[in-house]
Amino acid sequence: MTKNSVASTPIELIWGAEEIAKAIGRSRRAVFHMLDNGELPAKKVGGRWVIERSKLIAFFMEEAA
């Protein structure tokens, strides 16, 4: 993969536990628990949780298999 192909690939980020909760259909409290325990592939950036949508989808597809 070249530098240009990486730059042209859009990255869709989900910012904040509340938005992550909406994306996966869980309560904000449940998502905070999952984030604090490292159960979701997310990072804390500037005090806010962030996750890449494609990684979140892949994570749940892997769990279901």
Instruction: Measure the CA–CA gap between 13 and 52, rounded to whole angstroms.
Output: 4
**CATH code of residue 31:** 1.10.10
In a domain, 5, yes or no: no
**Is residue 18 included in any domain, yes or no?**
yes
- Domain of 26? 11-64
Order the strands of the 13-15 sheet from edge to edge.
Answer: 13-15, 48-52, 43-45
4 within some domain: no
Domain assignment present for residue 2? The answer is: no
Q: What is the mean pLDDT of each run of 10 residues along the chain (65 residues)?
A: 60 95 95 95 96 92 67
Q: What is the pTM of this model?
A: 0.77
The predicted pLDDT at position 60 comes to 85
